[in-house]
Amino acid sequence: METSCGSVTRSPLQPSEASVVIACFNEAGTIGPTLDGLLANFPNLEIIVVDDGSTDDCMGEIEQRRSVILIRNNQNRGQGASLVTGMKHATRPYVIWYDADGQHTPEMVAKVLAVQADFDCVIGLRSRHSDGMRQRRLGRWLLHVVARIITGAKVRDLNSGLRSFRREVICKYWHLIPNRFSASTVTTILMIERGFRVGWVDIDVQPRIGHSSLSQMRDGWRALALIVHLVTLFHPMRFFFPLAVSLIVGGACYGLVRAIFAGRGIPDLAVLVVLTGIQILLFGLVSDQISAIRKEKFE
């Protein structure tokens, strides 16, 4: 088990202090065993399942477990929207995200509970042998590089699905969690970007039962766009300043070199590039002021 700082100093959380939120869409074959494992190991845990407009017998499987809180979406709204809905209905001070497809196990919840009291957020750190890690290596590497450049921090596992939060912390950012893919990516960036205490626990994700609806190309580009969007909300100058300086310096150097060696004055292209860089810099400064106002509003 790994954490982001030192040894654990507080007692482990009791299951009665946490709510598990599960977003479920057409997982009739796995949701029953998933819930049985949690109920057998943590009878005092509040378990909330959001059925995201499933067309199979998910609801029937969930309703058989009467202690489980069932919330039904009339239409498919996406994993992120379902997780937010579940967290809004949670009554415990901590919330844990848990997959319905058999990839997570009760032992992972026990690891989270053991360290959660010391952190605002705890994220499962998947091993290299976890299901899907090798197949998605290139996409994961690219996302991590972008996240590190923009946030200035090393992100150990950007989009692990197993994570927990202090409810009073994550509730401030519900409106920033996307309805569909990348809810995990966005919340990781949020917690690190805003300086919250983030802990990590080692997990070995089990093979998924059923077919994944994710597309590496489509959802990878969507995740990149979300990272840029998120950072421009909180630290716009980290994105705009390097871009602006690169254009201004590059355009100025190009213009001077052409003017000196060609003897025809500064070319129009160089002027255009420099002016574009200045405009981006000014836009970044305005965005930074807007970001400061937003922080005051909900923080």
pLDDT digits 0-9 by tens, 92-138? 999 999 999 999 999 999 999 999 999 999 999 998 776 555 555 66
Token code pair at residue 244: 């602006």
> How many other C-beta atoms lie within 10 A of the C-beta of residue 236?
20
| Predicted pLDDT at 19 | 98
Give domain status of residue 121, yes or no. Answer: yes
Least confident of 43-52, 186-195, 211-220: 211-220
Measured CA to CA, the distance from residue 276 to residue 244 in angstroms comes to 8
pLDDT tier at 33, thresholds 50, 70, 90: very high
pLDDT tier at 234, thresholds 50, 70, 90: confident
Q: Which of 234, 264, 284 is the C-terminal boundary of a domain?
A: 234
Domain match, 230 and 108 both? yes
Domain match, 225 and 242 both? no
**What is the average pLDDT across 189-206?**
91
Domain match, 170 and 275 both? no
What totals of helices (H) and strands (E) does the chain contain, helices first?
A: 10, 7
Domain match, 277 and 174 both? no
| Predicted pLDDT at 210 | 57
Domain match, 46 and 155 both? yes
- The 3-state DSSP class for residue 93 equals coil
pLDDT tier at 187, thresholds 50, 70, 90: very high
Which of 249, 257, 256 lies closest to 273 in space, CA to CA?
Answer: 249
* Domain harbouring 219, CATH code: 3.90.550.10
Domain match, 69 and 169 both? yes
Domain match, 125 and 171 both? yes
Measured CA to CA, the distance from residue 17 to residue 113 in angstroms comes to 9
Res 285 pLDDT > 50: yes
What b-and-e string marks burial along 88-109, b requiring 16 or more CB atoms within 10 Å of the CB? eebebebbbbbbbbbbbbbebb
Contact 273, 247 (CB under 8 A): yes
Those residues with Cβ within 8 angstroms of residue 98's Cβ, 6 or more apart along the chain or in another chain:
20, 21, 22, 34, 38, 104, 109, 162
Q: Which of 214, 234, 254 is the C-terminal boundary of a domain?
A: 234
Give domain status of residue 2, yes or no. Answer: no
Domain match, 243 and 113 both? no
Domain match, 104 and 244 both? no
Q: What is the average pLDDT score of the chain?
A: 87
What are 1-28's pLDDT values in tens digits? 444 444 445 789 999 999 999 999 999 9
Q: Which of 194, 209, 234 is the C-terminal boundary of a domain?
A: 234
- The 3-state DSSP class for residue 122 equals strand
Least confident of 87-101, 106-120, 217-231, 232-246: 217-231
> How many other C-beta atoms lie within 10 A of the C-beta of residue 213?
11
**What is the average pLDDT across 263-285?**
93
pLDDT tier at 212, thresholds 50, 70, 90: low
Domain match, 166 and 282 both? no
- Sheet with 94-97, edge to edge strand ranges: 69-73, 46-52, 18-24, 94-97, 163-166, 121-126, 198-203
Name 128's bridge partners.
none
**What is the average pLDDT across 265-274?**
93
State the total domains in the chain: 2
Domain match, 164 and 218 both? yes
**What is the average pLDDT across 47-74?**
94
Measured CA to CA, the distance from residue 121 to residue 96 in angstroms comes to 10
Distances (CA, A) of 13 to 43, 203, 260: 14, 18, 69
Give domain status of residue 54, yes or no. Answer: yes
Q: Domain range spanning residue 270?
A: 236-298
Res 224 pLDDT > 80: no
Give domain status of residue 53, yes or no. Answer: yes
Which of 249, 136, 250, 155 lies closest to 198 in space, CA to CA?
Answer: 155
Give domain status of residue 70, yes or no. Answer: yes
The CA dihedral of 28, 34, 37, 42, to the nearest 10 degrees, is -120
Give domain status of residue 154, yes or no. Answer: yes
Give domain status of residue 1, yes or no. Answer: no
Name 125's bridge partners.
202
Contact 20, 109 (CB under 8 A): yes
Domain match, 181 and 91 both? yes
| Predicted pLDDT at 136 | 58
| Predicted pLDDT at 5 | 44
What are 139-170's pLDDT values in tens digits? 677 777 777 777 777 888 888 999 999 999 99
Give domain status of residue 149, yes or no. Answer: yes
